[in-house]
Amino acid sequence: MTPLQFEAYYAPTWDELTAALTHIEGARKRWSISLRKRPAPIGDTPDAARLSGLYRAACEHLALARARAYPTHLTSRLESLTQRAHQLIYRRTDYGAARFAQLFLLDFPQAVRAHWRYVLVAGLVFGLPLVLLGLATYLDPGFILTMHDAKTVRGYEQMYGPNADSIGRDRGADGDWMMFGFYIMNNISIAFKCFAGGVFLGVGSLFFLAYNGIAAGSLAGYLTAHGHAETFYSFVITHGAFELTAIVLSGAAGLRLGHALLAPGRRTRRAALELAARESALLVYGVVAMLLIAAGLEAFWSSARWIAPSAKFAAGGVCWLLVIAYLVGQGRPHAVKSSGAAHAD
């Protein structure tokens, strides 16, 4: 489908969305001026469901236009339209349960799929060193000393050895809650480095992704070689579904920033960076939520000796399936479907 055919085919949808936005913006302005109250929420309009469907359809059209490298005027029109709709639909004066449901049931998984190229690159940069260093350290356990000093390695053996009261780091009687706070700070610190490193043209994100992959892989290979595989993998499998995924997504958000600086297109680098930051913000929100879940699981579930490894493996498998299904399938539009998608392809 050529750009002209694409525009002609979907223009009625865009025009309808534009007209609806103009109507609602005008109504809100009149409401605010006459009654001096907050603008009426979008959910109070009779066509709210239709408007939300049109917005999601326009987001899909924008993704197609970018993927096919359509002319700038076309993508700019769609960017302006979707940003306008997003600000109108999701701007709230309160942050109740409905808003958070909208964020995590629609916005976040849609943002992950929209950034799938960055997610793929981040996953490879993190995953390949993890696997390769894991194999290298398994075959030669002494190789771990290239990443960790001897004292740290001995500490790891004690953490995952059979005599430890709890798996993972040492803790006291009130240690579960203390470790919950520690894991939150530690995980968010790692994710922030992967994200913020994107401002260095993406090189920082690539470095921190690879570094953490190497560190995790070398530890896994060493513990496997020394007979601690069941303890270690039963410890990491459940919270790892959220923690490792969040690290990759934070790296993907950083790569989005770096790409905007490297290839701003017809925008200034500042404008391109601002746009990239707005688009990747949804990824950051989701990453924080996933890291909170991971910290809770790591502190109260993964480290518990009284839970059988088989139960942890079963729970971990379920968590990985749920995370994958959520990111791949959750939030796909149903109200308005691109009836011409098959025709366009």
Between 223 and 38, name the one with better pLDDT: 223
Q: Is 98 part of any domain?
A: no
- Spell out the long-range contacts of 224-232 with Cβ–Cβ below 8 A and sequence spacing 24 or more: 224/134, 224/138, 225/137, 225/138, 225/139, 225/141, 226/141, 226/157, 228/157, 228/160, 228/161, 230/309, 231/160, 231/161, 231/162, 231/167, 231/309, 232/160
Domain co-membership, 126 together with 241: yes
Domain co-membership, 68 together with 210: no
pLDDT for residue 187 is more than 60: yes
Q: At what angle do helices 3-35 and 72-90 cross, to 10 degrees?
A: 30
Indicate the pLDDT class of residue 32, thresholds 50, 70 and 90: very low
Which alpha helices (H) appear in 36-149, and where do they start and end?
Answer: 48-67, 72-90, 97-102, 108-114, 116-139
Domain co-membership, 53 together with 18: yes
Domain co-membership, 33 together with 80: yes
Mean confidence (pLDDT) of the chain: 82
Domain co-membership, 320 together with 226: yes
The fraction of the chain above a pLDDT of 90, given in percent, is: 37
pLDDT for residue 168 is more than 90: no
Which residue range is the domain that position 124 belongs to? 116-329
Centroid of chain to Cα 14:
28
Q: Is 341 part of any domain?
A: no
Domain co-membership, 147 together with 210: yes
Span 261-286, average pLDDT: 88
Indicate the pLDDT class of residue 248, thresholds 50, 70 and 90: very high
pLDDT for residue 3 is more than 50: yes
Domain co-membership, 150 together with 291: yes
Can you give the pLDDT at residue 48?
Answer: 67
CB 118 within 8 A of CB 203: no
d(CA 282, CA 285): 5
Between 36 and 230, name the one with better pLDDT: 230
Beta strands, E only, 174-276: none
Q: Is 261 part of any domain?
A: yes
Q: Is 105 part of any domain?
A: no
Can you give the pLDDT at residue 4?
Answer: 87
Between 337 and 313, name the one with better pLDDT: 313
pLDDT for residue 338 is more than 70: no
d(CA 303, CA 156): 14
Domain co-membership, 154 together with 254: yes
Q: Is 337 part of any domain?
A: no
d(CA 24, CA 40): 9
Domain co-membership, 48 together with 88: yes
Q: Is 74 part of any domain?
A: yes
Domain co-membership, 124 together with 208: yes
Can you give the pLDDT at residue 42?
Answer: 43
Q: In terms of Cα–Cα distance, which of 260, 265, 285 is closest to 201? A: 260
Span 186-198, average pLDDT: 92
Between 344 and 223, name the one with better pLDDT: 223
d(CA 100, CA 190): 24
pTM for the full predicted model: 0.70
Domain co-membership, 87 together with 138: no
The model's pLDDT over 84-139, given as tens digits with 9 standing for 90+, comes to 888 777 664 445 566 677 788 888 998 999 899 999 999 999 999 999 999 999 99
Q: Is 111 part of any domain?
A: no
d(CA 38, CA 92): 10
Indicate the pLDDT class of residue 170, thresholds 50, 70 and 90: low
What six digits make up the tokens of 132? 């390769």
The model's pLDDT over 39-53, given as tens digits with 9 standing for 90+, comes to 444 444 446 677 778
What DSSP assignment string belongs to 285-300? Answer: HHHHHHHHHHHHHIII
Q: In terms of Cα–Cα distance, which of 66, 81, 83 is closest to 6? A: 66
d(CA 1, CA 14): 18
Indicate the pLDDT class of residue 215, thresholds 50, 70 and 90: very high
Domain co-membership, 179 together with 223: yes
Can you give the pLDDT at residue 127?
Answer: 96
Span 150-167, average pLDDT: 75
CB 297 within 8 A of CB 307: no
Q: In terms of Cα–Cα distance, which of 3, 1, 80 is closest to 271? A: 80
Can you give the pLDDT at residue 85?
Answer: 83
The model's pLDDT over 71-84, given as tens digits with 9 standing for 90+, comes to 888 888 888 888 88
Q: Domain count of the chain?
A: 2
Indicate the pLDDT class of residue 55, thresholds 50, 70 and 90: confident
Centroid of chain to Cα 154:
34
Can you give the pLDDT at residue 40?
Answer: 42
Coil, strand or helix: which one is 306?
Answer: coil
pLDDT for residue 255 is more than 90: yes
